[in-house]
Amino acid sequence: MKDYHTHHIRPCGGSLCSVTPDDWERVAAAEGMTPCFGVHPWHAHAVQEPAEFAFELDEWLCRYPTAEVGETGLDASERHKPTLETQRLLLHLHLGAAFRHERLVHLHGVHAWAELLGILKERARCNTLPRVLLHAWNGSHEMAREFLALGAVFSVGYRELSHPRAVERYARIPAERLFPESDDRPELWPQTLALFRLLRADK
Ligand SMILES: [Zn+2]
């Protein structure tokens, strides 16, 4: 099974997400992985010139026709709240690029699933919604249903799968829309897969 969202080169293959533009060269060169170009919301402050960034992202997506977009998203936790305005601007740039280039976009959402849902719904209304993957998904059923209606897929890792309410949270998401991820913990991949399979066997 491939790793649907990771920041490490993985023997099983998968989507290798960058965290800043300085990381794009590395992910593009990784053999056997799908490179993902983006700026993680934790590094929003690293982008000085958003317009320049948008041009660069376009260029890299043209150059790598099978690449995906990410990691991007919103993080409204205390620590990252101060950059929320920049995060929002960057998120829109990523979503626009993903839509134009018809790529999947990897979304991070901490204390921000509701806002993300609103943004995606608005894009759906305007017919500018790209395919999205919600990584480390831990939202409610009600919200999952709304994201599913927008065509979203989800990935979950060890932290989410070992949560006491994991079965209740994930069992109702259709199998073809829920995937395993290692994110920043590749060493936990065997345990992640074991928990992921248990969840599926439970159905
Ligand atoms: Zn990540």
What's the CA-to-centroid distance between 108 and ligand 1, angstroms? 7
At 47 the three-state DSSP class reads coil
CATH code (residue 63): 3.20.20.140
pLDDT at 201: 74
pLDDT at 171: 83
From first to last of the 203 residues of the chain, give the pLDDT tens digit: 999 999 999 999 999 999 999 999 999 999 999 999 999 999 999 999 999 999 999 999 999 999 999 999 999 999 999 999 999 999 999 999 999 999 999 999 999 999 999 999 999 999 999 999 999 999 999 999 999 999 999 999 999 999 999 988 898 899 999 999 999 999 999 999 999 999 887 55
- What residues sit around ligand 1, an ion, with C-beta below 5 angstroms? 71, 183
pLDDT at 75: 98
What's the CA-to-centroid distance between 33 and ligand 1, angstroms? 15
Question: Would you say residue 203 lies in a domain?
Answer: no
Q: Which positions ≥6 away from 126 have C-beta within 8 Å?
A: none
What's the CA-to-centroid distance between 48 and ligand 1, angstroms? 22
Question: Would you say residue 199 lies in a domain?
Answer: no
What's the CA gap between 115 and 6, in Å, rounded?
A: 24
pLDDT at 199: 86
What's the CA-to-centroid distance between 18 and ligand 1, angstroms? 8
Residues 39, 47: contact at Cβ < 8 Å?
A: yes
What's the CA-to-centroid distance between 106 and ligand 1, angstroms? 8
pLDDT at 62: 98
pLDDT at 153: 98
Question: Would you say residue 59 lies in a domain?
Answer: yes
Structural domain range at position 81: 3-193
What's the CA-to-centroid distance between 134 and ligand 1, angstroms? 10
What's the CA-to-centroid distance between 105 and ligand 1, angstroms? 12
What's the CA-to-centroid distance between 16 and ligand 1, angstroms? 9
pLDDT at 172: 87
How many alpha carbons fall within 13 Å on the CB side of residue 135? 25
What's the CA gap between 162 and 66, in Å, rounded?
A: 32
What's the CA-to-centroid distance between 52 and ligand 1, angstroms? 24
Quote the number of domains for the chain: 1
Side chain identity at residue 123, one-letter code: R
Question: Would you say residue 200 lies in a domain?
Answer: no
What's the CA-to-centroid distance between 149 and ligand 1, angstroms? 24
What's the CA-to-centroid distance between 132 and ligand 1, angstroms? 14
Question: Would you say residue 198 lies in a domain?
Answer: no
Q: Which tokens in the block code for residue 24? A: 């794009």
pLDDT at 202: 53
